[in-house]
A and B are shown apart, each in its own frame.
Chain A
Amino acid sequence: MTTVETAVGQAKTMVLNMGPQHPSTHGVLRILLELDGETVVKAVPDCGYLHTGIEKSCEDKTYSQAITLTDRMDYLNPLGNNLVYCMAVEKLLDLQVPKRAQYIRVMMVELQRISSHLVWLGTHAIDLGAMSVFLYCFREREEILKIFEMFAGQRMMTSYIRIGGVALQPPAGWRERLEKFLKYMPSRVDEYETLLTKNRIWMGRTKGIGYISAEDALALSMTGPTIRAAGIPYDNRKLFPYSSYDEFDFDIPTRTDSDCFGRYMIRVAEMRESLKIVRQAMDKITDEGAIKSDAPGIVPPQREKMKTEMEALIYHFKIFTEGFSPPAGEAFVTVESPRGELGCFIASDGSPKPLRCHFRAPSYINLQALPKLVEGQLISDVIACIGTIDIVLGEVDR
């Protein structure tokens, strides 16, 4: 049991247990709130209800087997999790990925960012009482999930990004489908803004709520839209470009108001930027070309080759029975997930299974700033603050 030390005298304050089963915590998060009337005096988040030991499981699996586990951490950003894990393994192996596969990765991850922000916007709006936005957001998210299904055969846990490239060639007719989506999506983003941005209730519930200064945000290791709303343009796609992001033309939206409204505006702007990136990636992806690097022993051989070539059959057998062994060493790779800096630290001891596989989960690290955001605010603002940090409990607890 977690106990709270009361900050002020016993007589005036009461302790309220919010969660773990509370619809506005988007999962199972418990927060102990010490209240003085309706004002929060102290907040203590308590997580761990979804801990599944993914990092321990990774140590017991070969490098390629663990990809499916990464999907299940941040379930709104499975492709981003695949990407960071695969990039870390590729760095350990010093493996180059073909340009075409890199562009496909960028396109998929940016679509995933839009879909994640749509879920965030819909659920955040419903928390604050704007019911209809949720329905509109999920309408567009559905289309993105259908595009994922087209590419990978799965809507959510796609495991589409693999070590050395991506799993499958783009399907027939993907350009037309995506073209249609890119055509109507900008006007749909405008539609959400007409419902919310100048809405008096929305502004009343978000403006000036959950302020955090840039210094505090940096000291608390916050990343993602939360730190960009505080005025620090920290984005891995620009600062440490990966997967050919340096060839794309896009902006990093920043603001200085650093409240719930600012973080909302940042995420809406990011959706527009992501649409720009998807469009550019679509133009860069050629109709023909390799989607996997040529690395026998690491990337599984093509089916046709296995039927005609002895070597390919041997490699296939070796990969799926024993796995491959990267040289002893370690790699830390970071990407920009919709929630912030997503990192993967893998240490290898030269065996087919990792010695250690650690994920730097942005939700987890951003969540520790929650007390800073809510202390001194009203209890109803706690919900707005949890919403704008955009936590996914599957990733917090791993």
Chain B
Amino acid sequence: MSEPTSSVERLRAWNANAVAEVIEYRGETTVVVPRELLRATAARCRDDAATKFNLLTDATCLDRHPYEPRFEVVYQLVCISRREKLRLRVKLYGNDPVVDSLVPVWPGANWLEREIFDLFGIRFTGHPDLRRIVLPDDWEGYPLRRDYPVEGYRDLPEMPLGFTKRSI
């Protein structure tokens, strides 16, 4: 058997369960990873001498509410020496938005995951400092979820001069 060449093939050869699905779109490769295997897969991507995705450039989340599994946490990896990009993705159900943190693999994931926690309410187990980052600590709700209204939930104080009080 010949040596697998592409990064996805190498991942599959390492652990066939780690690659649940591969999406190719507009020249970008996305690997859907089962939740339990995320940290191991990420560490493998970084440490495998042939793939060597040494830079975690971005992490974000998207919400497909009302469909389930609604959350998709997305990690963008870059291999600088081979000029290659790879996207890892984990799908999470709305009643259990918990996933392993990647801070032990890339310390740079710290603030990226804090932002996702702050705005989507995803819990990262093993994160050293999971606090809100852009919103005040006493904020209620997670604004970037699709069921959170764009105007927010707050009420305006009583308005003078005949303006009616309404939900902004």
Residues of A within 8 A of B (CB): 1-2, 47-48, 51, 53, 55-57, 59-60, 91-92, 94, 218-223, 232, 234, 239-240, 329-332, 334, 341, 343, 345, 347, 349, 355-356, 358, 360, 364-365, 367-368, 397-398
Contact = CB atoms under 8 A, between A and B. Distances in A.
A343 B57 contact: yes
A358 B80 contact: no
Contact of A355 (B30, B55, B64, B135): B64
A306 to B, nearest CB: 31
- A-B residue pairs, 7 tightest by C-beta: A221-B108, A48-B134, A356-B62, A360-B58, A358-B60, A51-B134, A368-B111
B55 A331 contact: no
B130 interface: no
A55 to B, nearest CB: 6
B41 interface: no
Given A53-B143, A332-B28, 15 more contacts: A2-B131, A47-B133, A47-B134, A55-B144, A56-B143, A57-B150, A91-B26, A331-B25, A334-B57, A343-B57, A343-B58, A345-B60, A356-B61, A358-B62, A360-B76
Contacts of B26: 91-92, 94, 329, 331
27 contacts: A2-B137, A48-B132, A55-B119, A56-B143, A59-B146, A92-B26, A218-B55, A220-B107, A220-B108, A239-B83, A240-B85, A330-B25, A332-B76, A332-B85, A343-B76, A345-B74, A345-B76, A347-B62, A356-B60, A356-B61, A358-B60, A360-B58, A360-B76, A364-B111, A367-B111, A368-B111, A398-B134
A57 B76 CA distance: 23
Interface in B132-168: 132-137, 143-144, 146, 150
Pick from A1, A219, A232, A364 the residue with the most CB of B within 10 Å: A219
A356 B17 CA distance: 28
Contacts of A60: 150
Interface in B1-57: 25-26, 28, 30, 54-57
B101 to A, nearest CB: 14
A360 B83 CA distance: 19
A219 B108 contact: yes
B106 interface: yes
A51 B64 contact: no
A20 to B, nearest CB: 13
A324 B28 CA distance: 23
Nearest to B111: A368
A120 B83 CA distance: 30
A1 B136 CA distance: 8
Of the listed residues A240, A332, A364, the one surrounded by the most CB atoms of chain B closer than 10 A to its CB is: A332
B106 A219 contact: yes
A48 B60 contact: no
Contacts of A345: 58, 60, 74, 76
Nearest to A61: B150
Nearest to A52: B134
Interface residues of B, number: 40
Contacts of B115: 364
Nearest to B89: A330
Contact of B83 (A57, A240, A343): A240
A347 B62 CA distance: 8
A220 B109 CA distance: 8
A239 B78 CA distance: 11
B107 to A, nearest CB: 5
A221 B55 contact: yes
A367 B56 CA distance: 15
Contact of B135 (A51, A218, A356): A51
B80 A1 contact: no
B127 interface: no
Given A219-B108, A332-B28, A1 B57 contact: no
Contacts of B62: 347, 355-356, 358
B60 A221 contact: no
Contacts of A218: 54-55
A56 B144 contact: yes
A60 B152 CA distance: 13
A53 B135 CA distance: 10
Greatest chain B CB density within 10 A among A55, A220, A365 is at A365
A54 to B, nearest CB: 11
Contacts of A94: 26
B37 to A, nearest CB: 22
Nearest to B67: A349
A360 B63 contact: no
A332 B62 CA distance: 13
B43 to A, nearest CB: 13
Contact of B57 (A47, A221, A232): A221
Contacts of A57: 150
Contacts of B30: 330
Among B28, B62, B115, the one with the most A-chain Cβ atoms within 10 Å of its Cβ is B62
A365 B76 contact: no
A51 B119 CA distance: 12
